[in-house]
Amino acid sequence: MVRSGIYFLSFFISFIFCEVNFTIENNTILFKINNDTIQYPFFGGYNQPKIQWIDWDNDSDFDLFLKDEGNALRYYENIGDSINYEFNLKSTNFNNISIGNWFTFRDFDFDGDFDLVTQNKNFQIGSYTAIMYYKNEDHNFNLITEGLQTIDGELVYSELVSTPTFSDIDSDGDFDFFSGNSSNGSLTFYENIGMDNSLPIFNYVTNFWQEISIIGDLNLRHGASAVTFIDIDNDNDLDLSWGDYFQPSLYIIMNVGNSTEPNMDNSNIILEFPYNDPIQTAGQNMPTFADIDGDFDNDLFVTVLFGAYGTQYVNNFYHYKNNGSFSNPVYDIETSNFLETLDFYSDACPEFADIDNDGDLDLFIGTEIDYSTFPFRGRIKYFKNTGNTAQPFFDLIDPYFLGTNIGTNLCPDLIDIDNDGDLDMFIGEWNGKIKFFENIGNAANFNFNYIGDLEAYDDQGSYSIIDLSGRAGPRFIDIDNDDDFDLFIGTVDGLITYYQNIGNAENSSFSFVTNSFSQIDVHSNAKIDFFDIDSDDDFDLLVGSANNNLILYKNIGNNYNPNFIFDSSLDILNGQNLAPAHGQLFSLDQLDVFCGVSTGGIYYIKSLLCLKGDLNDDSDINLQDIVLVVELILENIIQDEILCNSDLNSDNKIDILDILMIVEIILSS
Taking 50 as the threshold, does the pLDDT of residue 520 lie above it? yes
Please, what is the end-to-end C-alpha distance for the chain in angstroms? 16
* CA 226/CA 203 separation, integer angstroms: 22
Q: Report the percentage of the chain scoring pLDDT > 70.
A: 94
Taking 90 as the threshold, does the pLDDT of residue 509 lie above it? yes
pLDDT of residue 535: 66
156 secondary structure, DSSP code = P
Please enumerate, as own/partner, the contacts of 33-37 that have beta carbons within 8 Å and a separation of 24 or more: 33/396, 34/396, 36/340
* CA 51/CA 80 separation, integer angstroms: 19
Taking 90 as the threshold, does the pLDDT of residue 215 lie above it? no
Confidence of residue 597 (pLDDT cuts 50, 70, 90): very high
Amino acid at 34: N
69-83: pLDDT as tens digits: 999 999 999 999 999
Give the max Cα distance, the chain. Answer: 90
pLDDT of residue 90: 98
pLDDT of residue 177: 99
pLDDT of residue 16: 39
* CA 351/CA 152 separation, integer angstroms: 57
pLDDT of residue 625: 87
Taking 70 as the threshold, does the pLDDT of residue 220 lie above it? no
Taking 90 as the threshold, does the pLDDT of residue 231 lie above it? yes
Of the listed ranges 22-26, 156-160, 622-626, the one predicted with least confidence: 622-626
Taking 90 as the threshold, does the pLDDT of residue 323 lie above it? yes
More confident position, 4 or 145:
145
Q: What is the mean pLDDT of residues 372-377?
A: 95
Q: What is the mean pLDDT of residues 625-637?
A: 85
User: What's the mean pLDDT when you consider all of the chain?
Assistant: 93
pLDDT of residue 219: 57
* CA 376/CA 408 separation, integer angstroms: 9
How much helix, strand and coil, in percent to the nearest 5, is found in the chain?
Answer: 5, 40, 55
Strand ranges in 361-447 using DSSP code E only, listed in sequence order: 362-366, 380-385, 393-398, 411-415, 424-428, 434-439
pLDDT of residue 13: 33
pLDDT of residue 132: 98
Which residue ranges does the chain devote to CATH 2.115.10? 349-608
Correct CATH for 349-608 of 2.115.10, 3.30.1370, 2.40.50, 3.40.50: 2.115.10
Taking 50 as the threshold, does the pLDDT of residue 9 lie above it? no
Are 163 and 225 in contact by the 8 Å Cβ rule? The answer is yes
Query: Which DSSP string corresponds to 216-285?
Result: -STTT----EEEEEE-TTSSSS-EEEEEETT-SS-EEE-B-S-SSS--B-GGG-B-SSSSSS----SS-E
pTM: 0.92
Q: How many angstroms separate the Cα of 316 from the Cα of each of 45, 68, 185, 384?
A: 10, 12, 24, 27
Confidence of residue 283 (pLDDT cuts 50, 70, 90): very high
Contacts of 294 (CB under 8 A, 6+ apart): 61, 81, 82, 83
Taking 60 as the threshold, does the pLDDT of residue 15 lie above it? no
536-549: pLDDT as tens digits: 778 999 999 999 89
386-428: pLDDT as tens digits: 999 999 999 999 999 999 999 999 999 999 999 999 999 999 9
Burial 341-380 (b: 16+ CB within 10 A, else e): bbbbbbbbbbbbbbbbbeebbbbbbbbbbbeeeeeebbbb
Taking 50 as the threshold, does the pLDDT of residue 39 lie above it? yes
154-182: pLDDT as tens digits: 999 999 999 999 999 999 999 999 999 99
Taking 80 as the threshold, does the pLDDT of residue 664 lie above it? yes
Q: Could you give phi then psi for residue 569, rounded to 5 degrees?
A: -75, -20
pLDDT of residue 537: 77
- CB atoms near residue 475 (< 10 Å): 28
* CA 76/CA 68 separation, integer angstroms: 13
* CA 284/CA 51 separation, integer angstroms: 14
More confident position, 615 or 305:
305
Confidence of residue 3 (pLDDT cuts 50, 70, 90): very low
Q: What is the mean pLDDT of residues 451-468?
A: 98
Taking 80 as the threshold, does the pLDDT of residue 640 lie above it? no
pLDDT of residue 415: 98
Confidence of residue 20 (pLDDT cuts 50, 70, 90): low
Q: What is the mean pLDDT of residues 103-125?
A: 97
* CA 10/CA 649 separation, integer angstroms: 12
Of the listed ranges 1-10, 127-136, 225-234, 256-265, the one predicted with least confidence: 1-10
Confidence of residue 5 (pLDDT cuts 50, 70, 90): very low
Of the listed ranges 43-57, 133-147, 168-182, 604-618, the one predicted with least confidence: 604-618
Half-sphere exposure (Cβ direction) of 126: Cα atoms closer than 13 Å: 7
pLDDT of residue 669: 72
Q: Could you give phi then psi for residue 220, rounded to 5 degrees?
A: 55, 55
Taking 70 as the threshold, does the pLDDT of residue 218 lie above it? no
461-498: pLDDT as tens digits: 999 999 999 999 999 999 999 999 999 999 999 999 99
pLDDT of residue 14: 33
